[in-house]
Amino acid sequence: MQFSKREGDKRISTYPQISEVAPSFQRMALLLGLGTGAPGGRLAPNSMGETPVPRQNTELFPELLEGMRLLEGRFPSNELAARVVRAALTQPGVTGARLWRIEQGQAAVWAEVGALPSARSSRIGGAPVVEVAPDAKVWTGALGSDDFRVRVLEAHGEKPLTEAARAQLAMLARFAAVVLALAERRGAMKELSSIIEAAKRLNSTLDLGELIHIILQIATRQTGADRGTVFLVDRERKEIWSLVGLGLQQQVIRLPANRGLAGWVACEGQAVRVEEAYSDPRFEPDVDRMLGFKTERLMCLPIRNEAGVIIGVLELLNKAEAFTEEDEAFLDALSTHVALALEKAQLHRERVEKEKMERDLELAREIQAGFLPEAPPEWKGVEIAVSHRASQRVGGDYYDFLPVKSGGQDALLLVVADVEGKGTASALVMANVQAMLHALADRVDALEKLPATINQKILSGSRGSGLGAGRTTKYLSMFLALVEQEGRRLRYVNAGHVPPAVIRADGRHEWLDTGGMIVGLLADAEYRSATVELGPGDLLVACTDGITETMDAAGNEYGRPRLAESAGQKRGKKPEEILRGVLEEVEQHLQGGAHEDDRVLLVMKVGGS
């Protein structure tokens, strides 16, 4: 069945589509005693031969019937509220109508039409009351209520409303209460269904970028927004950042957490709906300028996890009409599901990044191990043992053995170096130093020039890289020694390194500290070399500070004196045995201690008799 009416110059058709769940216009009219058939109230037999129903003249309440026709059909609750006040406006003598919605003690105008005084609401004794002055020109009536909400219809006329008009408004209110309740239930069921479907989609991926895209699809489709952005809160950096925006190419946008409306929502935890973004002093237009976009309307909501902690902000932009409380309520109901999915996706992303870093560090460890000799070389007149261990996967401690020519004779260049700090950055500097040493190994006659040349190259590389003022590359300490004359002479330069010990066959020891300052700090650094004569049974013990600065639980360092004493007590053994013995003592000293660094230990023993 179809009903039609003219409103202005438009023809509006409505269909009684809800007859299966609610009284249709005909059924309600019969229930209210408003027959639709034969004039004069005669009985009209129906086509099925059933007992005839008495019908009254439709012209008795034409305005009421006209108003009820407006409420026929399936409409969203907001549109139906607008139809209710329009229906009230069709009643005799009514010049304006307003529908109030009162929820949780707060009264708000839901819809209004026609000539009306200003809307006022107040609270009396904790209960919401819509203020309407006692006036014969005014009619009010409740459209049903429950424990959580009340709906009130208010009608005004230029003249006192007749009893007939009031009766028709009361009948209209009864019908409107039914259809509004059904519409709100349908809306609630649809919203619940949407939330369930959204929750399924949110749990369909662990990829953060894809998840944010899903969140924005759900939010923009539900609200009608043109586009949106999910900002995540980075508490360590005190920033909010966005990975993707719907309708934009994927970009990373980072903002200080105290800037913009999204930042304000992240800090204050309150939702915001703004009609004119550029008129709000909290709005940050820089993002618009960066993306070539013009924000007009916007809505921002905090995304809270189950503990109530704000982990992000959902920002929606440029809906065709104003954002509503219903938009906000739906997204707020979805907030916990969104937060849980985001936290899972971020944990997954962090785990993937950590696993990738672990693989990269393992590869770096293998590469760095390739820079270091697998074993000391066999060299006439001496035996050498060496140990290296990084406190992390990679480190900045370095040792090397380079066969070279010195004065036309074969010699062995020993290198023990320690780049400041530890980890990947120190390992990169170490690799650079290793490359330079190998390139300069044919110029060792003037041994003191070797650290000076490396110093200049490191500092010139730092300036060429464009590092800003106040920043320098990492510095390093180095011990360089030439083993000459089958181990009977040692020519060395100590560039700010832990002084190695020469332990004589009779137990005496001396420290090799001649040289200069650390490498990579000052451009005009100069270095000196010194020579030590060695005899059969003498030891050279060199290390990095990871050995001497190892601390016990009380904070006491292992120290150079103990190193010399330990090696001296074992001087009758082979270099490998001396090395293992010293390392065992260092490990015992370390038990319960807090300090552990990269470390290298080298022991060389002169042979012969």
**pLDDT tens per residue, range 530-553:** 999 999 999 999 999 889 988 888
CA 231 to CA 608: how far, in whole Å? 74
Residue, of 260 and 330, whose pLDDT is higher? 260
Confidence of residue 114 (pLDDT cuts 50, 70, 90): very high
Could you give the angle at which helices 208-223 and 325-371 cross, rounded to 10 degrees? Answer: 170
| Lowest-pLDDT choice from 313-322, 348-357, 363-372, 393-402 | 363-372
Residue 438: its H or E element = helix 424-440
Which of 485, 487, 481, 600 minimizes the C-alpha distance to 538?
487
Q: In Å, what is the CA distance from 188 to each residue of 17, 77, 183, 241?
A: 19, 10, 9, 33
> What mean pLDDT value characterizes the chain?
78
- Please tell me the predicted confidence (pLDDT) of residue 309: 87
- Please tell me the predicted confidence (pLDDT) of residue 357: 79
| Lowest-pLDDT choice from 81-90, 142-151, 410-419 | 142-151
Asked if the model's pLDDT at residue 37 lies above 70, the reply is no
Give strand pairing partners of 388: 600
- Please tell me the predicted confidence (pLDDT) of residue 538: 95
Classified as helix, coil or strand, 566 is: helix
What's this model's pTM, rounded to 2 decimal places? Answer: 0.51
- Please tell me the predicted confidence (pLDDT) of residue 524: 87
143 in Cβ contact with 153 (< 8 Å): yes
Other CB atoms within 10 Å distance of the CB of residue 568:
18
CA 343 to CA 212: how far, in whole Å? 12
- Please tell me the predicted confidence (pLDDT) of residue 396: 75
- Please tell me the predicted confidence (pLDDT) of residue 461: 73
Asked if the model's pLDDT at residue 130 lies above 80, the reply is no
Other CB atoms within 10 Å distance of the CB of residue 327:
21
Domains plus CATH for the chain? 3-44+51-191 (3.30.450), 203-349 (3.30.450.40), 375-606 (3.60.40.10)
- Please tell me the predicted confidence (pLDDT) of residue 204: 67
Confidence of residue 123 (pLDDT cuts 50, 70, 90): very low
Classified as helix, coil or strand, 299 is: strand
The most confident of the ranges 159-163, 349-353, 354-358, 444-448 is: 159-163
- Please tell me the predicted confidence (pLDDT) of residue 488: 94
Q: Where are the alpha helices (DSSP H) in 242-401?
A: 260-268, 286-291, 325-371
Mean pLDDT of the region 348-354: 81
Which of 308, 330, 311, 327 minimizes the C-alpha distance to 319?
327
Backbone φ, ψ for residue 222 (5° rounding): -70, -35
Confidence of residue 72 (pLDDT cuts 50, 70, 90): low
- Please tell me the predicted confidence (pLDDT) of residue 523: 87
Other CB atoms within 10 Å distance of the CB of residue 292:
7
Strands 94-103 and 106-114 turn out to be antiparallel
Vertex 543 angle, CA 540 and 546, to 5°: 160
Q: Is 486 left (phi over 0), alpha (psi -120 to 50) or beta?
A: left
Q: Enter the tokens of residue 154.
A: 């208010």
CA 164 to CA 438: how far, in whole Å? 108
- Please tell me the predicted confidence (pLDDT) of residue 156: 94
56 in Cβ contact with 65 (< 8 Å): no
Percent of the chain with pLDDT over 90: 27
Which of 418, 399, 480 minimizes the C-alpha distance to 443?
480
Q: Enter the tokens of residue 159.
A: 């003249």
Confidence of residue 28 (pLDDT cuts 50, 70, 90): very low
Percent of the chain with pLDDT over 70: 75
Asked if the model's pLDDT at residue 583 lies above 80, the reply is yes
Q: In Å, what is the CA distance from 415 to each residue of 376, 404, 495?
A: 12, 13, 11
- Please tell me the predicted confidence (pLDDT) of residue 194: 63
Q: Encode 10-53 in three state secondary structure.
A: EEEEECCCCCCCCCCHHHHHHHCCCCCCCHHHCEECCCCCCCCE
CA 370 to CA 360: how far, in whole Å? 15
Residue, of 48 and 456, whose pLDDT is higher? 456
393 in Cβ contact with 369 (< 8 Å): no
Q: Enter the tokens of residue 495.
A: 């560039």
Burial of 512 by CB count in 10 Å (0-12 exposed, 13-18 middle, 19+ buried)? buried
- Please tell me the predicted confidence (pLDDT) of residue 197: 67
Asked if the model's pLDDT at residue 83 lies above 50, the reply is yes
Mean pLDDT of the region 321-344: 81
**pLDDT tens per residue, range 459-518:** 887 655 544 444 456 889 999 999 999 899 999 999 999 999 999 999 999 999 999 999
Residue, of 60 and 284, whose pLDDT is higher? 284
Largest CA-CA distance found in the chain, in angstroms, rounded: 143
Asked if the model's pLDDT at residue 450 lies above 50, the reply is yes
Counting every residue, how long is the chain? 609
